[in-house]
Amino acid sequence: MAEITYLEAIREALDEELQRDPNVFLMGEDIGAYGGAFKVTDGLLAKYGEQRVIDTPISEIAIVGAAAGAGHMGMRPVVEMQFIDFIANAYDMLTNYVATARYRAFLPCPMVVRGPSGGYVRGGPFHSQNPEAGFIHTPGLKVVYPATAEDAKGLMKAAIRDDDCVLFFEHKYLYRRVKGVMPAGDHVVPIGKARTAREGRDLSIITYAATVHKALEAAERLQAEDGLSVEVIDLRTLAPLDDEAIFATVRKTNRVLVVHEDTRTGGIAGEITARINETCFAHLDAPVLRVTAHDIPLPYAPALEDFVLPQVADIVTAARRLAAW
């Protein structure tokens, strides 16, 4: 089979689920005739019609509210945020209503809220955010953030079939840069399960999304220049976290570096560190270290964006410090 991009893998998942289940439909700004801001939904309007690929007004809270109602009635809506930055406009609906609907009123809310996120693309502060930490602490929401084309497809199919709301973050830097060959058949990746992207024995890097690829590059450099065997864990799902995979890699290498593109304060690295300290402290030979973005809005200027966001060199420097502890 031919390779397809991360973006095409998501489109393929949407297409297959639209074919499989007549209750699945898409909603979002410019997703129909225009095919979406990044062309993820290109061609789906012509194939499925305007009753299942619905262009909406520019109101994120209204889009999510309509999707929630449809979910209550047995439909499976997939909502696109044109940029994930704008999910903030739907925060009230997602956290106060959607996340609590099952608990308060026994109402299922099977829906996916997806959209392009992340930096490294010179998008500036309004089109480069990673707001996942704003949702991972909300019971009732699941949060997914794949790093590979294969996982983008498999996790999207799992998200659409889930009976609760799944927030699906798609890193725009990966859309056309990362490719993969899709497994044959109905490829579904379970939500809540991390994967080992690289085996190692000296230290572990726990990460997700675009920084998985930077961690892998750093691991190869550390192997070549320092002789360090570095394990890389791709979380894939941020809520729920795969504690079993996290604790297993801690017990294996005894040194942990957590890397993410989100800002440092309040980022998921702090939660992962706390869980490791509570459960695996005796297995640590050094403190858990973090490599994250700086706590500032992301600049437009390329040199400044590169400084703010985690780079391969930052990961290598932190790993060497950790190994020498």
Contact 28, 62 (CB under 8 A): no
d(CA 295, CA 288): 19
| Backbone φ and ψ of 116, nearest 5° | -75, 135
d(CA 33, CA 5): 22
d(CA 241, CA 230): 21
5 pairs with which residues across the strands?
179
72, 127, 187, 260: which is the annotated catalytic residue? 127
The question of whether 137 is a catalytic residue gets the answer no
Distances (CA, A) of 288 to 262, 273, 308, 316, 317: 17, 6, 21, 15, 14
d(CA 170, CA 112): 12
Q: Write the DSSP symbol of residue 89.
A: G
DSSP line for 114-174: EEEE--SSS--TTS---GGGGTTTSTTEEEE---SHHHHHHHHHHHHH-SSEEEEEEETTT
Report the catalytic residues: 127
